[in-house]
């Protein structure tokens, strides 16, 4: 059985992000990019299945600039057997549909039985990519798995939806996104980090995926950002550091509002 | 001019509040554009209750009765929405961002090659086209999204739950038309729902809630929030992470999946305040937050925030409250 885990490189979550009116409202991101933390849960879910069954391989599939190799290495260090990185200048400016077209083509080329994703990217936060990729492949999609079982050529998940916990399932091949509550991702050992450098990493460009020009990147984008601005002002609250007196300060605040 | 097409979701035999809100917003936009709203409904008994959507501003409903399981799956709904788009050539497809709604939106965009804008909180008209507004990067910037490309249908817009009021606007009835979409070859199966086990406190009725997040650290650490809640005459609320980890009962969960609460006072302990939680408690009268992480989003909308260790702060707070009352 071949499992693919889609991974993305995202800006460091702790770093400041702001838009720059002087630079055409582009987003300015500080800090080093890193593996999308939600994807680590998908890798962990794949590894846990691979460790409990025979003949299961786990491949990390990433679309991103050449610099995303760092995050792909992280996926390999966590335990993926090999990786595919799709990089091409023509991919810059891809929207959700364009990104899905690239991932669907890479998944078709790799012949996987199951594709796992994180529930969202920490930067795009779109949540819908699994559905778009599934539609392009004609596969079923199950999202936000809080638990996952794979047997007899099918996958079943439990998940939280608006009306409570529900069970949904589908036959393989299928796309599944996992919630960040499904597991605690492992930390790679130093040995695994060193070993990751010797694992196969295939680099592909658009030509290798046989995607028509204009279907991806800026030219293929069907949803566009018209403008970026400041959020509406919110009444700012008070934030203090606890120096031992925080409890008293809270009580004082609650008393002012007649809440105690 | 094409209509605005809204997927109105059914759950346990009722239309969901979030998707009725999107229908109401669509009706307001349709008024400005001099067009109409068409809804797609799927599920057991959907066509019987569909006429009532007229009171939410829907002119016409395309209905698919029944489902393979007790509830329709994402593939069944996507089949219906795709059939509706092909029949109606709407200007835009709109849906509420529930778990199912997000799957449906993705499937429809992929199958029809449409652009998709997610996490929208508002929509407006610009040059005869509907554009949407969405917060990004933990709500630190506000982005306006539009559409590119050929074709009558601009794209799919998915709205953050609770963005719009779902109150009926009048007593009109909608025209209901049954449709039989071509089914997908590969389906998702709805296999059932876990029975709720807890008949405990109804947190939506409490004046004071002490919210406990992942910062509690484990299921045996809840004494500190339980006794503070007791001192305040309130109840304990939790986050999805806490419930999914099995630390506390689902009936206490606040957020997009979970309950929506609006107590006079909400004390968030060890809760980062991600948008899924915020949706469920942002209408609280006063929000106090205690979190170790100074960058936690909760501090952006708390009325009073403490960067500190909840295990230090909460016991002292409880003591001070017991002494003052």
Return all residues near A226 (Cβ < 8 A) that are at least 6 apart: B126, B131, B144, B145, B146
Distance of CA B319 to CAs A28, B41, B196, Å?
45, 53, 35
For the stretch B137-162, pLDDT in tens is 767 788 999 999 888 999 999 999 88
- C-beta atoms of A254 and B286 within 8 A: yes
Whether residue A101 contacts residue A109, with contact meaning beta carbons closer than 8 Å, is answered with no
- C-beta atoms of A128 and B158 within 8 A: yes
- C-beta atoms of B98 and A161 within 8 A: yes
- C-beta atoms of A139 and B287 within 8 A: no
| Percent of chain B with pLDDT strictly greater than 90 | 75
Q: Which residue of B has its CA nearest to A257?
A: B286
End-to-end CA distance of chain A: 60
Map tokens 């299928």 to a residue: A174
Q: Give the number of other Cβ atoms within 10 Å of residue A236's Cβ.
A: 11
- C-beta atoms of A141 and B74 within 8 A: yes
- C-beta atoms of A231 and B104 within 8 A: no
Q: Which residue from A142, A238, A241 is facing B308, i.e. has the nearest CB?
A: A241
Residue A26 has pLDDT above 60, yes or no: no
- Which of A25, A40, A119, A113 lies closest to A74 in space, CA to CA? A40
Q: Which residue from A164, A237, A247 is facing B250, i.e. has the nearest CB?
A: A164
CB-based burial label for B122 (10 Å; 0-12, 13-18, 19+)? middle
Average confidence (pLDDT) over A230-243: 85
- Which of B172, B178, B153, B183 lies closest to B62 in space, CA to CA? B178
Residues in A closer than 8 angstroms to B320, CB to CB, are 247-248, 250-251
What pLDDT score was predicted for residue A103?
98
- C-beta atoms of A257 and B308 within 8 A: no
- C-beta atoms of A239 and B256 within 8 A: no
**B94/A contact by beta carbon, under 8 A:** no
- C-beta atoms of A223 and B142 within 8 A: no
Mean pLDDT of chain B: 92
CB-based burial label for A193 (10 Å; 0-12, 13-18, 19+)? middle
- A109-113, B132-136, B159-163 — most confident range: A109-113
Whether residue B64 contacts residue B179, with contact meaning beta carbons closer than 8 Å, is answered with yes
Residues in B closer than 8 angstroms to A151, CB to CB, are none
What pLDDT score was predicted for residue B102?
96
| Percent of chain B with pLDDT strictly greater than 70 | 98
Q: Which residue has the higher pLDDT, A81 or A260?
A: A81
Q: Which residue from B108, B141, B317 is facing A247, i.e. has the nearest CB?
A: B317
Q: Which residue of A has its CA nearest to B280?
A: A162
Residues in B closer than 8 angstroms to A96, CB to CB, are 109, 115-116, 118
Distance of CA B295 to CAs A241, B272, B274, B298, Å?
12, 9, 11, 8
Per DSSP, B212 falls in state E
Query: Could you tell me where the beta strands, DSSP code E, fall in B137-188?
Result: 141-147, 155-159, 175-178
Residues in B closer than 8 angstroms to A167, CB to CB, are 190-194
What pLDDT score was predicted for residue B196?
57
Six-digit token string for B209: 């809630």
Residues in A closer than 8 angstroms to B73, CB to CB, are 168
Whether residue A181 contacts residue B205, with contact meaning beta carbons closer than 8 Å, is answered with no
- C-beta atoms of A241 and B304 within 8 A: no
Distance CA B77, CA B111 (A): 13
**Distance in Å, alpha carbon of B96 to nearest chain A alpha carbon:** 12
Whether residue A67 contacts residue A153, with contact meaning beta carbons closer than 8 Å, is answered with no
The sign of the dihedral angle between the CA atoms of A24, A30, A34, A39 is negative
**B199/A contact by beta carbon, under 8 A:** no
Residues in B closer than 8 angstroms to A182, CB to CB, are 244
pLDDT-based confidence at A21, cuts 50/70/90? low
- C-beta atoms of A229 and B142 within 8 A: yes
Distance CA B11, CA B95 (A): 14
Distance CA B23, CA B6 (A): 6
**Distance in Å, alpha carbon of B79 to nearest chain A alpha carbon:** 11
Residues in A closer than 8 angstroms to B137, CB to CB, are 17, 27, 123
- Per-residue buried b or exposed e for A79-118, using 16+ beta carbons within 10 Å of the residue's own CB: bbbbbbbbbbebbeebbbbbbbbbbbbbbeeeebbbbbbb
For the stretch B96-118, pLDDT in tens is 999 999 999 999 999 999 999 99
**Distance in Å, alpha carbon of B47 to nearest chain A alpha carbon:** 21
Determine phi and psi for B106, rounding to 5 degrees.
Answer: -65, -45
- C-beta atoms of B189 and A169 within 8 A: yes
Distance CA A206, CA A56 (A): 28
Cβ within 8 Å of A, B 124-163: 126, 131, 135-137, 139-149, 155, 158, 161
- C-beta atoms of B106 and A162 within 8 A: no
pLDDT-based confidence at A94, cuts 50/70/90? very high
Residue A14 has pLDDT above 70, yes or no: no
Across A235-244, B19-28, B137-146, B304-313, least confident range: B137-146
Q: Between vectors from CA B48 to CA B45 and to CA B51, what angle results, nearest 5°?
A: 135
For the stretch B64-76, pLDDT in tens is 997 888 889 999 9
Query: Could you tell me where the beta strands, DSSP code E, fall in chain B?
Result: 4-7, 10-11, 14-15, 37-43, 60-65, 92-96, 115-120, 122-126, 129-136, 141-147, 155-159, 175-178, 189-193, 208-212, 235-238, 265-269, 286-291, 304-307
pTM score above 0.90: no
Six-digit token string for B247: 């630390």
Distance CA B59, CA B11 (A): 22
Per DSSP, B258 falls in state S
Q: Which three-class secondary structure string do you get for chain A?
A: CEEEEEECEECCCCCCEEEEHHHCCEEEECCCCEECHHHHHHHHHHHHHHHCCCCCEEEEEEECCHHHHHHHHHHHHHCCCEEEEECCHHHCCCCHHHHHHHHHHHHHHHCCCEEEEECCCCCCCCCCHHHHHHHHHCCCEEEEECEEEEECCEEEEEEEECCEEEEEEEECCEEEEECCCCCCCCCCCHHHHHHHCCCCEEEECHHHHCCCCCCCHHHHCCEEEEEEECCCCCCCCEEEECCCCHHHHHHHHHHHCCCC
Q: Which residue of B has its CA nearest to A228?
A: B143
Residues in A closer than 8 angstroms to B139, CB to CB, are 231
- C-beta atoms of A225 and B143 within 8 A: yes
pLDDT-based confidence at A11, cuts 50/70/90? confident
């Amino acid at each position: 059985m071949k499992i693919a885990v889609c991974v993305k490189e995202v800006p460091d979550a702790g770093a400041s992000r702001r838009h720059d009116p002087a630079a055409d409202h582009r987003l300015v991101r500080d800090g080093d990019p890193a593996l999308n933390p939600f994807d680590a849960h998908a890798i962990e879910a794949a590894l846990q299945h691979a460790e409990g069954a025979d003949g299961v391989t786990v491949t990390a599939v990433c679309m991103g600039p050449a610099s995303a190799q760092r995050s792909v290495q992280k996926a390999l260090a966590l335990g993926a057997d090999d990786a595919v990185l799709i990089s091409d200048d023509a991919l810059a400016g891809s929207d959700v549909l364009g990104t899905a077209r690239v991932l669907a083509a890479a998944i078709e080329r790799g012949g996987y039985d199951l594709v796992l994703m994180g529930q969202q990217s920490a930067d795009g936060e779109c949540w819908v990519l699994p559905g778009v990729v599934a539609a392009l492949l004609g596969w079923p999609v199950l999202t936000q798995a809080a638990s996952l079982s794979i047997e007899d050529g099918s996958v079943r998940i439990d998940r939280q939806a608006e009306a409570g916990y529900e069970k949904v399932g589908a036959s393989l091949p299928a796309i599944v996104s996992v919630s960040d509550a499904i597991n605690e991702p492992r930390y790679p050992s130093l040995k695994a980090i060193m070993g990751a450098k010797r694992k196969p990493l295939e680099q592909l460009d658009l030509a290798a995926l046989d995607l028509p020009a204009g279907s991806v990147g800026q030219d293929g984008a069907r949803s566009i950002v018209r403008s970026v601005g400041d959020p509406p002002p919110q009444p700012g609250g008070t934030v203090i550091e606890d120096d031992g007196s925080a409890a008293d300060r809270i009580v004082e605040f609650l008393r002012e509002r007649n809440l105690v | 001019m094409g209509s605005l097409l809204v997927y109105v979701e059914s759950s346990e035999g009722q239309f969901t509040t979030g998707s009725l809100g999107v229908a109401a917003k669509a009706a307001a936009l349709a008024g400005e554009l001099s067009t109409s709203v068409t809804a797609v409904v799927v599920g057991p008994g959907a066509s019987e209750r569909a006429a009532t959507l007229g009171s939410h501003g829907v002119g016409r409903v395309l209905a698919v009765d029944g489902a393979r399981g007790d509830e329709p799956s994402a593939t069944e709904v996507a089949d219906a929405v795709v059939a509706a788009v092909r029949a109606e050539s709407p200007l835009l497809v709109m849906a509420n961002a529930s778990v199912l709604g997000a799957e449906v939106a993705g499937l429809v965009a992929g199958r029809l090659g449409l652009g998709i804008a997610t996490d929208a909180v508002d929509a407006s008209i610009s040059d005869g086209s509907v554009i949407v507004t969405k917060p990004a990067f933990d709500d630190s910037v506000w982005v306006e999204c539009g559409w590119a490309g050929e074709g009558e249908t601009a794209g799919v817009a998915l709205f953050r739950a609770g963005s719009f009021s779902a109150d009926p606007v009048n007593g009109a009835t909608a025209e209901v038309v049954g449709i039989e979409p071509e089914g997908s070859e590969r389906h998702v199966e709805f296999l059932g729902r876990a029975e709720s086990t807890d008949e405990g406190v109804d947190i939506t009725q409490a004046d004071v809630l002490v919210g406990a997040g992942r910062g509690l650290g484990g299921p045996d650490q809840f004494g500190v929030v339980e006794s503070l809640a007791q001192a305040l005459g309130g109840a304990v609320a939790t986050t999805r992470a806490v419930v999914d980890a099995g630390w506390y009962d689902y009936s206490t969960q606040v957020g997009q999946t979970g309950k929506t609460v609006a107590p006079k006072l909400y004390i968030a302990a060890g809760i980062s305040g991600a948008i899924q939680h915020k949706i469920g408690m942002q209408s609280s009268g006063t929000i106090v937050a205690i979190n170790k992480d100074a960058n936690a989003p909760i501090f952006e909308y708390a009325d009073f925030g403490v960067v500190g260790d909840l295990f230090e702060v909460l016991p002292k707070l409880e003591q001070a409250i017991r002494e003052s009352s």
